[in-house]
Structure 1
Amino acid sequence: MCYKGYFKYLLVALLLFTAVTAVNAQNTIVTGFVTDAATKQPLSYVTVSFPGTTTGINTDSKGRYTLSTSNRSYTKLQVSFVGYKTSIIDITPGKEQTVNVKLQPDNTELDAVLIRRGKKKKYSNKDNPAVELIRKVIANKEKNRPEAYNYVEYKGYERLNFSFINVSENFSDKKFFRRYKFLLDNRDTTTVPGKNLLPVYLNEKVYQYYYSKNPERKKTTVLGEKGVNFGSFLDSEGIGVYFKHLYQNVDIYANSTVLVTNEFLSPISDAAPSSYKFFITDTIVVDNNKVVELSFTPRNTNDQLFEGSIYITLDGNYAVQKADLTINRKINLNWVKSMHIMLDFARNTDGRYYLSRSNTMADFGMSKNKKGGLFGQRLATFNNYVTNVPRPDTTYQGTQEITSDAVKHRSDDFWAQQRQDTLTGPQSKVYANIDSLGRMKSFRRTVDIASLFLFGYKQIGPFDLGPANAFYSFNPVEGFRLRVGGRTNVEFSKRVLLEGYTAYGFKDQRWKYFLSGTFSLNNSSIFRFPQHYIKVGVQRDTRIPGQELLFLREDNFLLSFKRGNNDKYLYNDNYRIDYLKEFSNHFSIGVGLRKWTQEPAGSLYFDNSINGLANRVHDLTTSEATLTLRYAPHEEFYQGKVYRKSFINKYPIITLNYTKGFKNVFRGEYDYNDISLNIYKHVFMKKLGEADIWIDGGNTFGQVPYPLLTIHRANQTFAYDPISYNLMNFLEFVSDHYASINVDQHFKGLLFNRIPLLKKLKWREVASVKSLWGGIRDENNPDLHPSLYEFPKESNGAPITYALGSKPYVEGSVGIENIFKVLRVDLVRRFNYLDHANIADWGIRTRIQFIF
């Protein structure tokens, strides 16, 4: 290489060095450790700040801190902690420097608490000024909430973005990724110092919010919404709903908040003094008002609590002026490496404070030690805050959130004016980049293959072929079963969904089929809430009476494996029309008409006695009208193309079903009425974890054979199912009246977190109990009425089907979940009716689940 070449590289290196030095010279960066001068032990949660400002940070569990600023007028560092003398240290502006601080214990009496040198006083709530302050904050919570006003309105802006973390810069140079260089080189290095972010998802919303106290009404009018579009291959809107659920609004004044599906107790909740330790760490002046910095940490690091600091006003309102919250890293939480929530409050004209900015940032990844992963941020800002100004009643009436397709097509000028927080350069390119990505054939092909493996469907133009896990299965009646089918997608139509399949059993040598068409009756997609559609379908297929699993299709290949004898099937012929209308308050009405023919298959039979003579019935036909009323207040869910997944919240889901059978209508053989009520509720139990509770009850009015009674949910697979009885045999119990309660308890590591090995494995305890009461009235007892179908029996005459007696059926389980983060294993025990033939007293059941 010639000297000119050396000189060129030397010049470039010199310029880079000069540039880096110039950048660093603009910032003051101070790092170090804070320790007790007497014991030499590190001090946690010590406040390190620049005096007279709100720029500061708390030391971590090892007493370490890093504080930086671009303001070169800061020449001093202040280190303060309750029970120690405040230390003021000179620093050099514009340089990176190390400052280790040894705090001297304060030997003076502070608010009747004596601090002795070299001896750490045990933390206590009694006579603790920090606890006295937090109790005043708790006492004044209600008046500091926006709902304390008779009327409130403001304009809000929300932004949700996700990025890959520290993606190698060499990726775009590799042959396979060169075509994606425009995306891979769009990196953000400013949002989070020290992290290289590659933005891939962005959603923004601007809205106007109105609140009326008496009567209480809330209304949100969406002014504009904009999000990335991955095309028809990925459900962009559904992904957005799921991401928003992970980042729910953090209300510091509420007793708790739910983040990543877990409940966290607020540091100013009513129970905060018994769950947190509080320390007065600083007093500062903000806008001529004195504010106390109150730091807090969990009493028990295993509990799902926050740590950080809140700033409390001393103007008599004891309002929160600022909050800095992090999730305790020691808790048993999957996939989340860290989470940081920053809340800023602005002073209103009446002197009260309102939330002006909420910023939640989180790192997601397989392991907390790996540098890669996914970074998510939810930013919300609020301005134009107006209180106690009434509007016309029409302002507050109607649905709680009003939106339309028009708001999703706002111009760039609209967003430039309405966006309350400026996008970074890389963020501003996300919309165009993802749009370009969605049009690339190579990307569409990759997503298509991934969709087949993850979701079981292969897109072929306007048609999705699948699901793949049902192409092949087997059972005792059909033998080997082959199936092929699919559904149309949005490329075919957003308002019309056609789906169907055909299947063939090589043992029974019968064809099965299904065909349906769903037609949207509103102007939005059939897949979007609120749904309003009519559905017409016809189906002929096999079914196991009493099998109603919560998560899997009946013809899923994995369900081919069952315990015990399970050769009692039905051939079902269904012709039906269904109508569904959902309302914005999450109340829905479903009406249906059905002609249903049941033909016994395998070893199942329909036998009765007519005039004392045995009779075998070929099939049973009924004509029914159904009504379903469902109410799920504040429900949120991920809406897939043919299914929904509801997200847990604190509100119940109530479903009422009514069925009327008509005799002599379309060959219907019986008149009857059937009514059932189901209530589901997810209960957050703080330190005890969470519980899923199902309460069921029903009654059948009229004399009908056992296939029209309630055949209770049984499960003879090896998968654990929360709503079925996992040690009950198919067709074992039938009832014309029943009540049940199922409780599935998740203790979230309540005990295991106290055992070192199990805590490291992050296993969690689970338990369940299921109780079922029921019976059959004399009118439906085939022993008293031989014209009814007799209960099925084994070939040797041993009974298979029973009515419940005076005692309930009870089973329970204990187990471990979160094995390898995805596996749950339960040991299930059946407690009674143990004299029934071919039943299992004990069993081990497993389930794959993805939980935080």
Structure 2
Amino acid sequence: MALAQSTVINGTVTDATTRQPLSYVTVTFQGSTTGVNTDDKGRYTLTTPNQSYTILQVSFVGYKTSVFTITPGKQQTINVKLQSDNQQLDAVLIKRGKKKRYTNNDNPAVELIRKVIANKEKNRPEAYNYVEYKGYERLNFSFINVAENFSDKKFFRKYKFLLDNRDTTTVPGKNLLPVYINEKVYQYYYSKNPERKKTKVLGEKGVNFGSFLDSEGIGVYFKHLYQNVDIYANSTVLVTNEFLSPISDAAPSSYKFFISDTTVVDGIKVVELSFTPRNTNDQLFEGSIYITLDGNYAVQKADLTINRNINLNWVKAMSVSLNFARNTDGRYYLSRSNTMADFGMSKNKKGGLFGQRLATFNNYVTNVPRPDTTYMGTQEITSDEVKHRSDEFWAQQRQDTLTGPQSKVYANIDSLGRMKSFRRTVDIASLFLFGYKQFGPFDLGPANAFYSFNPVEGFRLRVGGRTNVEFSKRVLLEGYTAYGFKDERWKYFLAGTFSLNNSSIFRFPQHYVKVSFQRDTRIPGQELLFLREDNFLLSFKRGNNDKYLYNDNYRIDYLKEFNNHFSIGVGLRKLTQEAAGSLYFDNTINGQSNRVHDLTTSEATLTLRYAPHEEFYQGKVYRKAFINKYPVITLNYSKGFKDVLQGQYNYNDVSLNIYKHFFLKKLGEADVWVEGGNTFGQVPYPLLTIHRANQTFAYDPISYNLMNFLEFVSDHYASINIDQHFKGLIFNRVPLLKKLKWREVASFKSLWGGVRTENNPALNPQLFEFPKEGNGDPITYALGSKPYVEGSVGIENIFKVLRVDLVKRFNYLDHANIATWGIRTRIQFIF
């Protein structure tokens, strides 16, 4: 019965000239947002229960829009033959009777876009000496198309107040269930010379999930997915991926442009330019931009979407709508930005998550200077007061009206957070997602470290945990105990951290003191970027892996972060290292071989770190930095003291690490690490730099994946690591691989270094000799005149989560028990 009352239209869309089917043609009911795209064979089916639609509209870039009269409430077949748009005849080239081929030559659309590019700088707000405006931002997330009878099911009846709060107006044709909302009102100031930016937050309001979820941290993460879209910038980052702007300097070589229409806005003639990617799998926009013909060639409006073929995970659809208003001097400024995305596991399923970031801007004032104090200080000023504004404040300051369901989200989520049944559900979910189980003020975990094994400890059991914010925001206590059934030794860790700025120790800017003691095993040279050493999966290693250290590590650490993202860390440490497994500390005294039981050092440390514009995803008891285009510079210095707390050596150690993520447009993205260091003083090999090696089967971007543990040590070194993500540069152009959405990756790693005469145990027998195998084969080496080099090629985005690399080692191939090549894998969740 329901189908009989619905209007159902199906058919095929073809090119009227070539008779070839047209894919991704938009078929809609005129005057609505209800529509579909044709499939690879040009077929479509469009269904609606709405009886008021009488016109079917079929449109595609480069073709004339066709309309058809339909009969509501019936099933009909309408096959469409689209005619090429005559406006484009001057923008194509005809050769030897073949079908039209797009070209930039003598193309008026491309000539126009080049004029837009040439005038970009003067149309940006930064062209003014001073700019100020008032802004409003709203970020909301909703579940899509939750069944109407969902709240009638027994388990969900208690959540009926939430599940029945449906929004059908934000996106016509979609049924949204709002679950998150955050709003902010602010005043923005800009000064050109010197360049300074200041945002003064006037009010901020967001849902509160309670103590079990960090509402502020979730908001930061969502905002990172939806960064501001600047049409005048060469590129913009959305859902962690870089998209080339249709008016970027390189746009004519990446996009196809067509003149679609002309109109008059505010007495100014405006040209509509349609554009589409030259390759639909590339991370590019498609849509329309409207250009003024007043000599400024400014963008008056932009509608951007992504092609459904784009090599992007978890995103079914995304659109960006930008509206510009005319200023009193005739220039245009951004007045409204609306970014919407439909997230989901599959592009074919109706459910998923819908996100929207709406931003509006008004009260523009240009070239009016303010006192210097207006622009000085941190880039964003906020206070706790702005988070407690009254309803009257928001009624006056909110520049865009909330829908009824959106306005109820605040109270609904507050009620949800107080429900014990929901808290239990989230608690269980956090155990699987994050590895911790909450018991009031204490979290037990991490679960993946409860069990592991290695050649020294054998079967290892561990249990531990940490306090959470229900215990204290300012104090974090953590610890664990572990037992190895082979070495029959207990290991444990205890730490206490106290915040000095009356906020969570994980909240930026951090300011805390931490005291800790750890007695445990460690593999010299293992320093993995993303994983714990006692993770169960890391128990599986290649080659010989029985050289460990027992460590007793006493530490006091102080950390102070500043608002400009510069930080200073100071520490005191006493470390006792004891050789374990087949590792040993041997030296020669007065011609006699001597075995040393342990090595003790006492040192002071200083860490200086600068990470401009760094942003974090903040959890309750952790934080994770987002990738951006700015470098992260870290300087470490350590000073060893002899005869202080039983310290045995005087030394100085300094290292500098620079990390930068490069957005390379068509070439994808690259992570680059450059590092160098030097140890001053005569010390045994455990106090030299033991270079990061990886004998697990997991690919690690900062370690040498075919270097053995303890294989190389240095008292001076320099290195460069490059991890390149091509984002489908080649695969997007190969038909089969294009469908699989695989992406190419490659890496290059090179390490230079050496050991000076004073630290060479062959010349200084009182130092510990470099370890050897039982048969006398060397285990540990100093780098020679040539660097250690390894590289890899691989594929990522296999099943959307798997990366596989073929790794090759290029030199020092005469070392014993090495692997010259290997397969390494990595699980990663990327867009």
Q: Same fold (TM over 0.5)?
A: yes
Rounded to whole Å, the distance in 2 between the matches of 1:435 and 1:285 is 48
Alignment match, 1:457:
436
- How far the C-alpha of 1:142 sits from its partner, in A, is 0.1
- How far the C-alpha of 1:538 sits from its partner, in A, is 1.3
Alignment match, 1:578:
557
Alignment match, 1:6:
none
Rounded to whole Å, the distance in 2 between the matches of 1:105 and 1:187 is 42
Name the CA shift for 1:114/1:65 in 2 (closer, same or farther; >3 Å): farther
Alignment match, 2:420:
441
Alignment match, 1:401:
380
Rounded to whole Å, the distance in 2 between the matches of 1:30 and 1:280 is 30
Alignment match, 2:543:
564
Count of aligned positions: 825
Alignment of 1:761-840 (within 5 A): 761-840=740-819
Name the CA shift for 1:350/1:534 in 2 (closer, same or farther; >3 Å): same
Alignment match, 2:239:
260
- How far the C-alpha of 1:755 sits from its partner, in A, is 2.6
- How far the C-alpha of 1:688 sits from its partner, in A, is 1.9
Rounded to whole Å, the distance in 1 between the matches of 2:77 and 2:729 is 41
Report if aligned partners of 2:233, 2:248 keep a CA contact under 8 Å in 1.
yes
Alignment of 1:40-189 (within 5 A): 120-189=99-168
Rounded to whole Å, the distance in 2 between the matches of 1:347 and 1:65 is 41
Rounded to whole Å, the distance in 1 between the matches of 2:25 and 2:415 is 49
Alignment match, 1:419:
398
Letter in 1 for 2:677: G
- SS of the aligned residue for 1:694 comes to strand
Asked if 1:366 is matched to 2:337, the reply is no
Name the CA shift for 1:252/1:786 in 2 (closer, same or farther; >3 Å): same
Name the CA shift for 1:66/1:225 in 2 (closer, same or farther; >3 Å): farther
- How far the C-alpha of 1:100 sits from its partner, in A, is 8.7
Name the CA shift for 1:511/1:168 in 2 (closer, same or farther; >3 Å): same
Rounded to whole Å, the distance in 1 between the matches of 2:229 and 2:478 is 41
Pairwise CA RMSD: 3.4
- Deviation per CA, 1:723-765: give whole Å up to 9, x if none: 1111111111000011111111112222222332222222222
Rounded to whole Å, the distance in 2 between the matches of 1:399 and 1:784 is 55
- Deviation per CA, 1:666-723: give whole Å up to 9, x if none: 1111111111111111112222221111111111111111010000001111111111
- SS of the aligned residue for 1:245 comes to helix
Rounded to whole Å, the distance in 2 between the matches of 1:43 and 1:763 is 25
Q: TM-score, normalised by structure 1?
A: 0.90
Report if aligned partners of 1:39, 1:118 keep a CA contact under 8 Å in 2.
no
Letter in 2 for 1:532: H
Rounded to whole Å, the distance in 1 between the matches of 2:33 and 2:294 is 22
Letter in 2 for 1:779: E
Asked if 1:383 is matched to 2:383, the reply is no
- Deviation per CA, 1:267-319: give whole Å up to 9, x if none: 00001111111100000111221110000011122221110000000111100
Structure 1 unaligned residues grouped into runs of 5+ = 1-12
- Give percent identity, aligned residues only: 87
Rounded to whole Å, the distance in 2 between the matches of 1:370 and 1:92 is 28
- How far the C-alpha of 1:90 sits from its partner, in A, is 11
* Equivalent position to 1:751, from 730, 734, 740: 730
Alignment match, 1:722:
701
- How far the C-alpha of 1:523 sits from its partner, in A, is 2.7
Report if aligned partners of 2:281, 2:738 keep a CA contact under 8 Å in 1.
no
Rounded to whole Å, the distance in 2 between the matches of 1:693 and 1:437 is 44
Alignment match, 2:210:
231
- How far the C-alpha of 1:44 sits from its partner, in A, is 8.7
* Equivalent position to 2:674, from 695, 710, 724: 695
Asked if 1:650 is matched to 2:639, the reply is no
Report if aligned partners of 1:463, 1:486 keep a CA contact under 8 Å in 2.
yes
Letter in 2 for 1:555: D
Report if aligned partners of 2:589, 2:765 keep a CA contact under 8 Å in 1.
yes
- Deviation per CA, 1:17-38: give whole Å up to 9, x if none: 9xx99xx9xxxx9999987665
Name the CA shift for 1:794/1:118 in 2 (closer, same or farther; >3 Å): closer
Letter in 1 for 2:456: V
Alignment match, 2:187:
208
Rounded to whole Å, the distance in 2 between the matches of 1:609 and 1:373 is 68
- SS of the aligned residue for 2:182 comes to strand
Letter in 1 for 2:775: N
Report if aligned partners of 1:57, 1:65 keep a CA contact under 8 Å in 2.
no
- How far the C-alpha of 1:115 sits from its partner, in A, is 8.5
Rounded to whole Å, the distance in 1 between the matches of 2:33 and 2:369 is 39
Report if aligned partners of 1:448, 1:459 keep a CA contact under 8 Å in 2.
yes
Letter in 2 for 1:795: G
Report if aligned partners of 1:105, 1:115 keep a CA contact under 8 Å in 2.
no
Alignment match, 1:7:
none
> Once structures 1 and 2 are overlaid, which stretch shifts more, 92-101 or 356-365?
92-101
Letter in 2 for 1:544: I
Rounded to whole Å, the distance in 2 between the matches of 1:721 and 1:87 is 52
Asked if 1:497 is matched to 2:476, the reply is yes
> Once structures 1 and 2 are overlaid, which stretch shifts more, 34-43 or 273-282?
34-43
Rounded to whole Å, the distance in 2 between the matches of 1:436 and 1:109 is 57
Letter in 1 for 2:251: A
Alignment match, 2:459:
480
Name the CA shift for 1:608/1:92 in 2 (closer, same or farther; >3 Å): closer
Report if aligned partners of 2:91, 2:108 keep a CA contact under 8 Å in 1.
no
Name the CA shift for 1:292/1:50 in 2 (closer, same or farther; >3 Å): farther
Report if aligned partners of 2:275, 2:286 keep a CA contact under 8 Å in 1.
yes
- Deviation per CA, 1:411-470: give whole Å up to 9, x if none: 211111111111111111111111111111101111111111211111111111111111
- SS of the aligned residue for 1:426 comes to helix
Rounded to whole Å, the distance in 2 between the matches of 1:640 and 1:375 is 22
Rounded to whole Å, the distance in 2 between the matches of 1:667 and 1:162 is 58
- How far the C-alpha of 1:661 sits from its partner, in A, is 1.0
Name the CA shift for 1:781/1:137 in 2 (closer, same or farther; >3 Å): same
Report if aligned partners of 2:203, 2:387 keep a CA contact under 8 Å in 1.
yes
Structure 2 unaligned residues grouped into runs of 5+ = none
- How far the C-alpha of 1:64 sits from its partner, in A, is 8.7
Name the CA shift for 1:736/1:641 in 2 (closer, same or farther; >3 Å): farther
Asked if 1:851 is matched to 2:830, the reply is yes
Name the CA shift for 1:790/1:45 in 2 (closer, same or farther; >3 Å): closer
Rounded to whole Å, the distance in 1 between the matches of 2:36 and 2:300 is 17
Asked if 1:511 is matched to 2:501, the reply is no
Rounded to whole Å, the distance in 2 between the matches of 1:31 and 1:377 is 31
Report if aligned partners of 1:83, 1:115 keep a CA contact under 8 Å in 2.
no
* Equivalent position to 1:631, from 594, 600, 610: 610
Letter in 2 for 1:678: N
- How far the C-alpha of 1:264 sits from its partner, in A, is 0.8
Letter in 1 for 2:783: L
Rounded to whole Å, the distance in 2 between the matches of 1:224 and 1:636 is 21
Alignment of 1:563-712 (within 5 A): 563-712=542-691
- SS of the aligned residue for 1:429 comes to helix
Alignment of 1:537-556 (within 5 A): 537-556=516-535
Rounded to whole Å, the distance in 2 between the matches of 1:257 and 1:520 is 36
Rounded to whole Å, the distance in 1 between the matches of 2:543 and 2:248 is 52
Asked if 1:193 is matched to 2:208, the reply is no
Report if aligned partners of 1:109, 1:115 keep a CA contact under 8 Å in 2.
no
Rounded to whole Å, the distance in 2 between the matches of 1:95 and 1:348 is 48
Alignment match, 2:255:
276
Report if aligned partners of 1:108, 1:114 keep a CA contact under 8 Å in 2.
no
Rounded to whole Å, the distance in 2 between the matches of 1:155 and 1:828 is 53
Name the CA shift for 1:419/1:98 in 2 (closer, same or farther; >3 Å): farther
Report if aligned partners of 2:244, 2:251 keep a CA contact under 8 Å in 1.
yes
- Deviation per CA, 1:133-181: give whole Å up to 9, x if none: 0011000000000000000111111111111111112211111111111
Report if aligned partners of 1:81, 1:281 keep a CA contact under 8 Å in 2.
no
Rounded to whole Å, the distance in 2 between the matches of 1:126 and 1:657 is 56
